[in-house]
Amino acid sequence: MDGKEVAVVVQEKIKKQTAEWIKRTGQTPKLTAVVVGKNAASQFYVRSKKKAAMEVGFISEIIELPAKVTEVELLACIKELNQDVTVHGILVQLPLPQHIDEHKVICQIDVYKDVDGFHPEQVGALSIGLNGLAPCTPAGIIELLKYYKIKISGKHAVVIGRSNIVGKPIANMLLKLDATVTITHSQTQNLAEITRGADILIVSIGQPHFLTADLVKEGAVVIDVGINRTEAGKLIGDVDFEGVKEKVFAITPVPGGVGPMTISMLLDNTLVAFKRIVSVENKEK
């Protein structure tokens, strides 16, 4: 499954819709990314997000804060963005330095501008099957499965990893689409037995080439969410792609699988947030 190709298709749709909404409302969607410190990967991701946002016709800015910014200062920065009527989407790039409480920061973001879908209110909405803004990586995975017409309903989906960004939300989204879902993690007993029973396997544990062919059922669909760098600087996933690819029905590569979809879904969430905000503003007039 080619995430780069699907990301382009999604972004073309967003670009077209953006132009229509700008024409109709006279306003332009604006995405603001906040990044703390000089983490090279975080800097790269926020720049990629800004570039992609501008390519679809949004306004986008990056607010760079020093690694030693205090939690109070970061919360104040978000408060300002919440109040700025020209900003429709806010994201704080993760991870944050250890002295900052990530949950406090996420909770500070106006839920209507939370284009990462990390706010507890959005997480709650997702868990009871309501439409909110879903976290971008899981939303990208669902988009890929749909694009390649992979049947989800009635299938056994196994998620390896229980993070708030990927594991838990993708489990909820697959459940909403009528999959039977098993979440596994570092303390799971008999993991191999469970993964060998999976029709759809989502691997998100941050362990290079963890998933080998012996853990996969013939004909399964494998989604690799891992982004690991080798010492030589090469990007590799959580799945042993070469070993697994012959055995499966479909598989995502790293790079070029889920990563590009994460950015496309962020743009999609930003456009949804923009439409909601300007529609409310127009009703109030």
Ligand X SMILES: Nc1nc2c(c(=O)[nH]1)N[C@@H](CN(C=O)c1ccc(C(=O)N[C@@H](CCC(=O)O)C(=O)O)cc1)CN2
Of 104, 27, 35, 97, residue with least CA distance to 63: 35
| Per-residue contact flags (x/-) with ligand X for residues 54 to 93, judged by CB under 6 A | -------------------------------------xxx
Min CB(235)–ligand X separation in Å: 5
Per the CB < 8 A criterion, the answer to whether 259 and 3 are in contact is yes
Tell me the C-alpha to C-alpha distance, in Å, between residue 50 and each of 89, 100, 114, 239: 12, 24, 16, 29
Question: For 134, how many CA atoms within 13 A lie in the half-sphere containing its CB?
Answer: 26
Active-site annotation holds for 116: yes
Please tell me whether residue 243 binds ligand X under the rule CB under 6 A: no
Alpha carbon distance 115, 109 (integer Å): 10
Please tell me whether residue 133 binds ligand X under the rule CB under 6 A: no
CB of 155 or CB of 209, closer to ligand X: 209
Alpha carbon distance 237, 229 (integer Å): 9
Active-site annotation holds for 108: no
Active-site annotation holds for 93: yes
Binding test (CB under 6 A) with ligand X, winner from 11, 18, 122, 137: 137
Shortest Cβ contact with ligand X: which residue? 259
Of 268, 194, 257, residue with least CA distance to 225: 257
Please tell me whether residue 241 binds ligand X under the rule CB under 6 A: no
Min CB(89)–ligand X separation in Å: 11
Please, which of residues 104-123 interact with ligand X by CB under 6 A? Answer: 116
Among positive and negative, which fits the CA dihedral 114, 120, 122, 126? positive
CB of 194 or CB of 221, closer to ligand X: 221
Q: By CB under 6 A, which span of 66-74, 184-192, 200-208, 248-256 interacts with ligand X? A: 248-256
Question: For 113, how many CA atoms within 13 A lie in the half-sphere containing its CB?
Answer: 25
Residues that bind ligand X (CB under 6 A): 45, 91-94, 116, 136-137, 165, 227, 235, 254-256, 259-260, 262-263
Which residues are known to be catalytic?
49, 93, 116
